[in-house]
Amino acid sequence: MLKNYLKIALRYLLKNKLYSLINIFGLAVGIASFVLIMLYVNYEKGFDTFEGSENVYRTYMDYLEGDTFVPGDAMTYNASGPALKELFPEVVDYVRLYYFENLAFQVGEKTLEQPLGSLADPSYFDIFKYPLLKGDPKTVLAEPNAIVLSRSFAQKLFGNENPLQKRVSVFEDGTETQLTVTGIMEDVPKTVHFRNSFLISYETEKTLTDFGPQAHELNWNMNNYYTYLKLAPNTNIDVLRQKIMDSDIEKNDTERHNIEPIEAIHLYSNKPYEVTANGSILRIKFLTAIAFIIIVLSWLNYVNLSTTKSMERAKEAGIRKVAGAKKSQLIFQSLIESILLNVIAMTIGLSMVFAVMPLYNKITGNELYLDWEALINLTPYFIFILGGIVLSGLYPALLLSRFSPAKALKGKVRASTEGIGLRKGLIVTQFFATIVLLTGTFVITKQINFLDNQPIGANVDQIIALHGTVVSDKADSLVVNDFRILQEQLEVFPFVESTAIAQTYPGDSFDNLSSTRGLWLPDGRKDDKNVFYTYHAQPDYFDLMDMEFLAGGTFIPNSNLEGNQIVVNETFLKTMGFSSTDELINKTVTFWGNNDWRVMGVIKDYYHFGLKSPVLPTIIRYDDNISNILIKLDKSDTSVAGVASALNQIENKWREVFPQSTFDYTFLDEKFEAQYEQDKAFGNAFQIFTVLSILIASLGLFGLTAYTVVLRKKEIGIRKVNGATITQVLTLLNKDFVKLLGLAFLIAMPSAWYVMNQWLEGFTYRTNFSWWIFALAGLTALLITFLTVSWQSFKAAVTNPVESLKDE
């Protein structure tokens, strides 16, 4: 019996090729889009999940702003972990990580830089259950000067040799430390917010960092550590969190400790000094909503098109009933056709996923795969799809089974309007989704353009930052002198407009900023509630970056104030309560125990972290320390070949001055734009899936138009016989859909406004929600409706009325 049902279903689909093609294409696109989006959603939600991760929490700092504590810093003190373990029995253990953005490693003649590594307590492998390939997890980080390498980093350093117990030289700010390889760990997965490629035993901090042995002792002075806690199973998190916040272990009434689950960091945390740029739960919610909208739209299309064809199959149903077919058999036959069509569509949809995966990965910036593990993770969604297939096929099946044999065989079913209200409701739903998605696309595009075109208060074009690591046994003073020689020699090149030295630059991360709380002025002003951020630079920095001075000027070299000169920004001025820039010039400021920082100038605010973050109160210090050499290229030759030639000459000069070193560079404009990469990727994905949603919705509109034409075929014929023109017929058929569109537009406007305002709130500086966005979305939807409906309407309008009226 089942074989017979399948034969009939297959014959019907092959006979009605256009109907089958539209349905299969719409469903395939819907399923492919749904799977692609949910692959990305699962990837983002899968961050930091490992054995026991549900009991791992990160502690962070809350800072007092006004009368309220707000999340203020992802880093804590070296005393935080030990104190929390001692005070709270729920804390089983802790691990502290001191993060190195880059270290230089040397083995024999081989020297290379490796990013993303940390000092770590011995408890690391007990808390983070990542595989250790070689070594004892209990002892690999127990002794000073021990290092654990990731598998791929060990391969870079030692090739195929066994690296255990081998020596590695590590250089931090030119200082060499000898380490012994005690273990090899598997490469940390990409779905981890803290991707360490090497781990150095925490005890090595005494010699590897420039903090000095005293800073290694437990203290509440330097919050430079990421601290993770392993909690006892079944801990009441809300109770523990409140106890930690109330504990005041740091003895400071302007800050407190707090905790958050490690599994939530990637999507929910966006604090200063995060290890890496995290994702966004709001983006995930948006994409999930789009995924379900697309798949539901594809099912609505199937319902519309199936009910359209059911009118044509009324006589077939009537004959089957007269021949003795039961209602259940008709329903089952229709469901078999639905399932067969959906299985074909799913097969094509999954093939589409494989085909477009490389392009999709490029858009999202990830490396997603549709392997067995991914398929298993998608099982709940496949169950949802299966349920949708059955439900979407059930209504047309029930409609077909209810036809009266007598009416069906007399051809009177065509005149029935049964179910038209439901189908109109489905079309309103499709219009609603289309308008909301169009509005979202226009808002996202407008915001991205706003970010791209808004002046940032500094010029990052044609500027390169050199930040290689020098491996040398020279004294620090001699290395600094070599950097000055390099800077002078670089300025001789005709393609170099100017150079400067600075610790950081616009677009760089929090890692190269220091911070302070507690700032005093001689007139008695004091601020110990706000966080002030600071970095060092040399006098030419402001001119090279085209920063505007509102008062005063840059640092004065070779003066008796040289080491104590600072430049502050507008926000610093406002935070300290000054109404005029002149009030602050030449005033002294006290912080970091130094009461003689002299304000030389006030610069106009610039967006160090782009327009997603507020401008921070910033202090720029005069310091001779060598960090990034910034090179502004001459604009006379900006071609690819010209820039490549300039980079080659710069590298040659670098290696001439520093034969033993690593060389690296960054284009500041690219680094700054990278802050918006995830938002642009989200915008691109949103636009693509909006277009697909509109395509699917148009197919549904096509289905209802076809059904309407079938219902009103004789009416159109009679009107044409009585002199109706083609334009009048088109107006007749279009006006009902315009009414439905108008209703959907009224419902969609407040929904779209609310949803997109939620997204815009993720940006400190954002574009305004203009009225024309709604108008453009409505007009676009109207144009799509006219194009889709008029195709079918025009065919009906030009049909010979004799053909419409002769069938009785």
383-401 confidence digits (pLDDT tens):
888 887 777 777 666 665 5
Q: Decide: 142 and 202 in contact? Cβ < 8 Å.
A: no
- Rounded CA-CA distance 607/459 in Å is 11
Per residue in 81-105, pLDDT tens? 999 999 999 999 999 999 987 788 9
Closest-CA residue to 392 (of 328, 457, 301, 331): 301
Q: Which amino acid is at 276?
A: T
Per residue in 421-446, pLDDT tens? 666 777 888 888 889 999 999 999 89
CB atoms within 10 A of CB 462: 18
722/456: higher pLDDT: 456
Q: Using alpha carbons, list the distances in angstroms from residue 113 to 151, 179, 467, 468, 663.
A: 16, 15, 11, 8, 9
| 409 has a pLDDT exceeding 60 | no
For 783, counting Cβ atoms within 10 Å of its Cβ (0-12 exposed, 13-18 middle, 19+ buried), the class is exposed
CA–chain centroid gap for 250, Å, is 34
| 144 has a pLDDT exceeding 60 | yes
Q: Decide: 519 and 532 in contact? Cβ < 8 Å.
A: yes
CA–chain centroid gap for 57, Å, is 22
- Rounded CA-CA distance 190/187 in Å is 9
In this prediction, residues 798-802 reach a mean pLDDT of: 61
Residue 240 is predicted with a pLDDT of 96
| 255 has a pLDDT exceeding 60 | yes
| 760 has a pLDDT exceeding 90 | no
Per residue in 121-138, pLDDT tens? 999 999 998 899 999 999
pLDDT confidence band for 416 (50 / 70 / 90):
very low
Above pLDDT 90, what percent of the chain?
Answer: 33
Give the single-character DSSP code of 400. Answer: H
Residue 110 is predicted with a pLDDT of 84
CB hemisphere CA count around 378 (13 angstroms): 22
- Rounded CA-CA distance 271/355 in Å is 38
Residue 239 is predicted with a pLDDT of 95
- Rounded CA-CA distance 353/369 in Å is 10
Q: Which residue has the tokens 């492919």?
A: 32
In this prediction, residues 716-742 reach a mean pLDDT of: 75
CA–chain centroid gap for 490, Å, is 38
- Rounded CA-CA distance 671/234 in Å is 43
- Rounded CA-CA distance 668/465 in Å is 7
Residue 328 is predicted with a pLDDT of 65
In this prediction, residues 455-459 reach a mean pLDDT of: 91
Phi, psi dihedrals of residue 188, rounded to the nearest 5°: -65, 135
Q: Which of 531-545, 703-717, 760-774 has the lowest mean pLDDT?
A: 703-717
| DSSP string over 44-79 | HHTTT--TTGGGEEEEEEEEEETTEEEEEES-B-TT
| 767 has a pLDDT exceeding 60 | yes
pLDDT confidence band for 736 (50 / 70 / 90):
confident
Residues in the chain: 808
In this prediction, residues 150-179 reach a mean pLDDT of: 89
Q: Decide: 785 and 700 in contact? Cβ < 8 Å.
A: no
| 790 has a pLDDT exceeding 90 | no
Residue 544 is predicted with a pLDDT of 95
Q: Decide: 495 and 643 in contact? Cβ < 8 Å.
A: no
Per residue in 4-52, pLDDT tens? 656 766 776 667 677 778 788 888 988 999 999 999 999 999 999 999 9
pLDDT confidence band for 517 (50 / 70 / 90):
confident
In this prediction, residues 726-744 reach a mean pLDDT of: 79
Residue 561 is predicted with a pLDDT of 67
Strands 226-231, 91-107: parallel, antiparallel or unpaired by DSSP?
antiparallel
Tokens of 108: 């024999």
Residue 415 is predicted with a pLDDT of 43
In this prediction, residues 583-603 reach a mean pLDDT of: 88
For helices 17-45 and 379-401, the axis angle rounded to 10 degrees is: 150
The mean of the pLDDT values for the chain is: 83
533/319: higher pLDDT: 533
Residue 404 is predicted with a pLDDT of 54
| 548 has a pLDDT exceeding 70 | yes
Above pLDDT 70, what percent of the chain?
Answer: 85
Range picked from 42-51, 207-216, 230-239, 799-808 for highest mean pLDDT: 230-239
Per residue in 302-353, pLDDT tens? 777 776 666 565 556 555 555 555 666 666 667 777 778 888 888 999 899 9
